[in-house]
Structures are given as structure tokens and as C-alpha cells.
Amino acid sequence: MSPVRPVRHARRRLIAATVTVCALSATPLAPHAAALDAPAYSETYRPQFHFTPQKNWMNDPNGLVYYKGEYHLFYQYNPNGNSWGDMSWGHAVSTDLVHWKELPLALSHDDKEMVFSGSAVVDRDNTTGFGTRTNPPMVAVYTSLDKATGVQAQSLAYSTDRGRTWTKYRGNPVIDIGSKDFRDPKVQWYAPTKSWLMTVSLSAEHKVRFYSSKNLKDWKQLSEFGPAGATGGVWECPDLFPLPVDGDKKKIKWVLVVNINPGGIAGGSGAQYFVGDFDGTKFTAEDKGSYTPPAGTVVQDFEGADFGTWTAAGTAFGAAPATGALEGQGEVTGYDGKGFANSFHGGDSATGTLTSQPFTVDSRYLNFTVGGGKHSHKDGTVLERGPAPDGTVLADFEGGTYGDWTATGDAFGTAPAPGTLPGQLPVSGWLGVGLVNTFLGGDAATGTLTSPEFTLDKDYVDFLIGGGNHPAGAADPTAIQLLVDGKPVRTATGSDDEALNWASWDVKDLAGKKARLRIVDANTGGWGHLNVDHIVLSDTRAEPVSRETAVNLLVDGKVVASATGADSETLDWASFDLRPYAGEQARIQVVDNNTAGWGHIMADRFTTASAPAKSLVQRADWADHGKDYYAAVSWEDAPGDERYMIGWMNDWEYGGAIPTSPWRGAQSVPRRMALRTVDGRLRLTSEPVAGLASLRQGSAVTADGVTVTDTSQPLGGPAAAGKALDIEATFSVQDADRFGLKVRTGADGEETVIGYDTTTQEMYVDRRHSGAADFSAAFPGVQRAPLKPENGRIKLRILVDWSSVEVFGGRGDAVITDQIFPGPASQGVQVFAENGSARLDQARIRHLGSYRD
């Protein structure tokens, strides 16, 4: 695969638009600058026991195969820069899945193609004729992107020197169906039919297709699987493999891993899986049965002739519940009975709210169904735009020229635009009669516009921004930048929306500095333009207007919980946890404040219950519940028939903006996979490879029999502190609501919380205060994974690296992988309990060295 080819760029930017008004980066650039001067592999956020290339961009693992004592790790790689582009295959090898040696570039892009994701096999019988039986070739099967057409096809390359040098097959491609969404072949030898088996993704159709071949060159289609499970994003990087059930080699089930972006369990990229059977032709997933939500009391089902006591404002919801799809709307499914709230009255351009009467919170959960647009509520937004902030106007683009600003290229022309330009969707939200609009000549135009120097003498820089979502950290940005000493210290981009909205930079830490503004349009693809207006220095932060399509819970007039649709006309279950607001007055408000694509919301069946309802995404099975585990695929031909898996430790929601340099992207630790029966059904479990113990340094720091009540306290003293740790901890569940460990703790409350919530029986990672997190609104948050105590105990294995945590709960049936970017001085370890007591029965903390040692 290779998440983020040109077509996926467009998809990823569309997703970002639903997440935040604009992508802001207020991250200080000092870590970047320091990294440029630091020795290789000692940079601020450089992982020590997770593989990273010495420099440049890396994403998906590819070509995982074991041959002649070496585990091969190929990976998506840009040999020419630290952002996605020029996709090629990088290469590293290991003898133990722990110590890695980076090798020269394996498969390079060229003038005609980029080399996207795929797999590698050892052709031991020389079925291809690329080698000999005594020296069988290693064959890479990869997706070739035709640069001229965008078509994705499957191609071959081969090596006869253990993967050190490669030759592309002259007969490429070997499968071409003329599709731009056909990628990521995983190939293996299927012994029962003595043939090669390919598992490949029809990504936009949410399908996996299977092919068979005798020689890797001529392929016959066998069958398809899907759509099934989670389908909120493209399906990529499929992997099919057998595993024994509960260790019984006489009882085999097949696992189909399908990576999805977006629409993962944590909101962005994710790795889901299906368990079932494969008969040599067809994969059949086990039937999990239909879903029945928890029983409860229906408080609003919109079955009446009107909205009853609920109050509608605006025009979007009409005067009464809808009884099906409205004019211009696709087929609507998933609602109960005959009526539901539907804001598509008048189409996506209509806006409005639907608000319940106040009620006293006296139940544990509020369950409901929701559908429509995926435009989340964002704190700090308002439903209606107020006046422009007072202050010093740096530019309002009203004078008919750019004044002292300097333009380069052809995107800006000689004067501000009067509004919408030819061929452009309607532009709205600017002030006055002029604005910066780089759609001059269409998206193909590029250029820069730079302001004269000014002094930062107020707290905020406020501005209106719209247009394409191409952050400054990504290839070919459309962004506005604040420059100090010629270097960007703040950036913002659009949200794939022609409506301009307020954005702000907090510049209090830059008070008195001389600065310039630079507007950059380097993008020639879809949404390759930017709209900017009314830039003002102010002591007031501008309030962006909500673009949400959401169901909100309001307490004291503030939104305390929110759910949105999934860009789907199918309503699905969602749930609000009401327990923190017991006894308080609340309202439910359904909000449509979006006028663009999927600018509507649907809701039904509001039900109070003692347990939460689960969405389709929550009901799917996930190999990892964190934000940063994607493109997960496994090694072929591993000794002992073991199944080892590795994933890209990043997320397409912010992958191009993480604050690392001169590299960007890391791989997870390789994991040993197993199928175990958990709570009566089969689960794919994982644990770090045993060889990781070889990196342990010195003696373990131990802490046994520690009881903690309603507090946090240091654990293990200075000897336990560190940036790279392997922690094993076992807790006895007592009466605390939440308990666990905090790692990478430091000044100003910096911490990454790894806990267990007894009220929901979930393991969680909270990285909201883990360090640098404001480079993307999608980064801060809490990730959760279901985990039941075993014999009254919770067991955690925590791997802490310089910029990540990987948490394995129980016997590997709950896993959360998250990046973190703490300051180098944040190295503490603490134990905590909230609202009660917990007992840490045993903890072993070990320091880990580098895989390069």
C-alpha cells in the first residue's frame, strides 16, 4: 500500500477538514533545529528500539520475508525528502527482529512509476525463471503507480543476491484492471494447490480480492471479500494468514487483516481483522450475529407528528421529523420506526439546531443513533460569527493592490481577488471587497506572497483562512506561515472548504520579535489553493465559527460530549457517558452548522440505559486500539511457522506534521501473533518479540506491594526514570475508578497516562499532556481498549521509547500504540489511583538500549 498517494492525499485532506477548522502548528521549532545539529540517532525524538531510517520519510512496512537467516524489512520511503513523495522501497535486515541494519535503497521510483506497497517471497522452485533452484530468486510483488494516468497495477521485481540489488520485470505489470484504487498485494505460497496466492485491496470499494498463479506472472481471479466490518475509509494493506487456535496446531483458523484509513477505532488510521476460514478460493468470516443495543428507556424517538418539546431553529430540520430520505438525499437506513431527525431539508446548504428541554441526569448512559456528515464539534467555536477582533490590521487586502507585500509565481496575480474566481466553487466568509485567493488560473498555479516586517506587540495573530488542506509539513503545501528570523514558527492551512473561517496563533512567547507573514501555494493538485483575508494583531483570540454536524450534550451551556456522523446516510449507534454529570441539568442539541459536502446530520432513538451502545466501528475487531498502528502486515517463512507482525507507527491524520527531523516515520516493535479464545470468541493477540529482552540494560528496578489512594506518587525513584523503558506491572483491582502508571513525567504537568478504568473495564492511554501535541487537533486525546481483569488482576507490559508508548494488556488481547513527543527532561515514572485505592502487586522497570548497539 502506501497511504497517501495523490488520490489518498485528497482523501486525507478531506478528512482533516472534518476534524478542525484549519490545521494550526504552534509547536516551537527548537526541537527541529536541535535535531539538525545532533549526531544521527541522538535527536530529540529519535526512537531507540523502533526502526527508523537515518533520514527522510518512511511509512508502510513492505516485503516482509525471512531468508537465509535474515528478516527483511522493506518499507515505503522517500529518498529525496522528509515528507511523502517519490515512493520507493527502503530496506533493512535483522537476524532477530530487534537489531536492524539499514541497507541501500532497494526499489526506486523513476520517471514513469512510483513503487507503492507490496510483499516479497522466496521463489524456491524458481517458478518465475528469475533465478535457479540452487539460487532461488527473491521476488517483490508491488503496486506500481503510473505517474501519467494514476492507474495502480501489480508488478514484479527480483533479486538473486539476498535482496541487495533488484531488477524490475520487463513484462510489468502482471495484473492491471485499469483502477486507481487497486493496491498492496500480499503474496504467499499456498501448499494445498501448489500455487501462489495474492491478497490485494480494492480500496475504494472496501473489498479484498484473491488471485492465484503458478509462476507469479500469470494470475487468475479467485474471489472477493467485503464490504464488511468498518468501512469508514479506504481498505489497504490486506494480509491473510493461518494461526492455530489456542495453540492447537490441529485446529487452524485464518485471519484477514485489513487496514483502514480513516475510520479506525481511534478515529484515524487503524488495523482491523476478521477471523474465518479459507478453502483455497474463498475467505469466509465467522458470523458474529446481529447487534442488539442495551435495553433502556426511550426518551425521544421522533415518532410524533412534530418534534414535541424539542425546539428547532434555522431551516435544516424542518417543522417535523423526516420519514425517510429527503429531496436530493441518498437512501437513508438505520433509523428506527417511521421518523427521525434529519437536517437535509433544503440540502447541505441549510443550517439549524434541534434542542431538547432541560433534564436532570439520572442515568448512566445516553444511547442514540447518528448519521450524516463527519464534521466534529470543536471547543472554542461559536455557532454564529461575531465582529472581527480589534487590533492592528496587518492586511485587509482592500486597496486594489498588495501594497508592500511581495508576490512570486503566478498564483496571486498583481492584486487581491474580488471573490470567487473562474472555475472555483463559491467563496464565502471574507470581509470587504478583496482577499487573497490563489485559484487564479486554477489549482495548477503556484507562488508565494510575503509581507513586510512588523513587530509582534500583541498576544495573537488572527486571520481568516480557507482553501486547501495541505499543511506546511507535507509535500506541496497551501499554507500561511509566521516567519521569525526567516524561519517558520507558526503555520496554518485550509480545510478543503471555500468558506473562510477565523484562525489564531498565540504569539505571547514571541513578544517583541520582528516577523513576516508568508502565504505559500506550492500545490498543483486538487484543492491546490488558499484563501486568506483580514490579518490582525490583537489581544483577543478570534473565535472560529462551528462547521459541525453533531449531536452534543450540554451541561451549564457547555458542550461536554459530542458525536458526529461518518459521511454516511446509515445511522449507527453512539453513546454518551452521563455518570460525571449525575444530578446536573443537561440538554441534548443536534447541530447542523455546515453548508458544504455532507453538511447534514441525522439522529434517532435517544435512550437512557445502564450500559453504553457500541458503534459498528467499536464492534469491529482491531489488532491495536491506538492512534499509531497502521499498514500492519506479517512476515512470511519465519522459522518455526511463527507469525510476526509489524505496523507503521504513525497516523495519516497528522503523519506529515509530527515534529521529527531529519527523519519522519517509525515502525512498531515486531509482535508475535496468536489466536486465543477470550470471553468465548476468538481474538487476535500480540506480544513483543522475545528478543527485545536483549536490549535490557542493568538490573531491574522493582516495586512490590504498593497501595496508592487518590493520588500519584513516584515509582522506583531516580533509578527508574528514563526515556526508553520496558515495564511489567500487575495491579490488583480494588475500589479505585482508575489506576495505573504515568511515564515520561516532567515539569509543567507533562505526562503520558497509562491506566485502567474499572467503571468501563478498559485499558487506556491519555496523551493530552504528553508533550508537543498542538501540531494537529487530531493528536491529543485518550485511546481505549476493552480489557477484563483476570483473577482480579490487571497485567500491563509497557514499552516506552523516546517518542512512543506501546501498551500490551492481559495476555496481549488489548494493545494500544501511541506516539508521544515529551521534552527530553521528562523521564519520571509514577503510580496513581483516582477515586479510591489500587494495589500495585509487582512492577519491574528495565532500561532499554538502542537496536543499533
SS3 39: coil
Q: What pLDDT is attached to residue 110? A: 97
Q: Give yes or no for residue 15 having a pLDDT over 50.
A: no
Question: Which pLDDT tens digit goes with each residue over 200-230?
Answer: 999 999 999 999 999 999 999 999 999 999 9
Q: Is 186 exposed, middle or buried (0-12, 13-18, 19+ CB in 10 A)?
A: buried
Q: What is the pLDDT of residues 440-487, one digit of tens each?
A: 989 999 999 999 999 999 999 999 999 998 888 666 899 999 999 999
Q: Name, in order, each residue with C-beta under 8 angstroms of 558's C-beta and a sequence gap of 6 or more.
A: none
Closest to 200 measured CA to CA, from 123, 283, 99: 283
The C-alpha atoms of residue 738 and residue 761 are separated, in whole angstroms, by: 10
- CA distances to 84, 615, 681 from 287, rounded to whole Å, are 39, 17, 11
CA angle 509, 663, 627 (to 5 degrees): 80
- Three-class SS state of 715: coil
Q: How far apart are CA 829 and CA 796, in angstroms?
A: 14
3-state class (DSSP) for residue 670: coil
Region 647-675 average pLDDT: 95
| Position 37 confidence tier, pLDDT thresholds 50, 70, 90 | low
H or E stretch including 796?
strand 793-801
* CA 173 centroid distance within chain: 31
Q: Which residues contact 575 (CB under 8 A, 6 or more apart)?
A: 365, 366, 367, 368, 612, 613, 614
- Residue 624 pLDDT > 50: yes
Selecting among 60, 592, 757, 813, the annotated active-site residue is 60
Average pLDDT over residues 135-158: 97
Distance CA 673, CA 756 (A): 23
**Residue whose entry in the numeric block shows the C-alpha cell 506497497:** 117
d(CA 676, CA 674): 6
From 99, 95, 74, 58, select the one nearest 164 (Cα to Cα). 74
Pairing label, strands 681-688, 88-94: unpaired
Band of residue 83 on the pLDDT scale cut at 50, 70, 90: confident
Strands 514-521 and 152-159: unpaired
Cell of 439: 485559484
Cell of 624: 491495536
Give the integer Cα–Cα distance in Å for 738 and 286. Answer: 34
CA dist 453 and 53 (Å) reads: 38
Q: C-alpha angle 845/663/781, rounded to 5°? A: 55
Mean pLDDT of the region 375-404: 92
Q: CA-CA distance, 156 to 167, in Å (whole number)?
A: 9
Coil vs helix vs strand at 354: strand
3-class secondary-structure state, position 616? helix
* Mean pLDDT, residues 164-191: 98
CB distance 192 to 181 below 8 Å: no
What DSSP string runs through 810-838?
Answer: TTTTEEEEEE----TT--EEEEEEEEEEE
Distance CA(396)–CA(407), nearest Å, equals 16
Nearest residue to 285 via CA among 295, 299, 273, 294: 273
pLDDT tens-place string over residues 487-543: 999 999 998 889 999 999 999 999 999 999 999 999 998 899 999 999 999 999 999
Question: Would you place residue 379 in the very low, low, confident or very high pLDDT band (cuts 50, 70, 90)?
Answer: confident
- Rounded CA gap, 315 and 642, in Å? 60
Give the Å distances, CA to CA, from 304 to 321, 366, 753, 807: 8, 20, 46, 48
pLDDT score recorded for residue 33: 36
Judge whether 679 counts as a catalytic residue: no
- The reported pTM is 0.89
pLDDT tens per residue, range 677-709: 999 999 999 999 999 999 999 999 999 999 999
Q: Grid coordinates in use for 610? A: 445502564
Residue 521's CB: how many other CB atoms inside 10 A? 30
Regarding beta strands 663-664 and 56-67, do their DSSP bridges make them parallel or antiparallel, or are they unpaired?
parallel
The pLDDT of residue 12: 31
Mean pLDDT score of the chain: 93
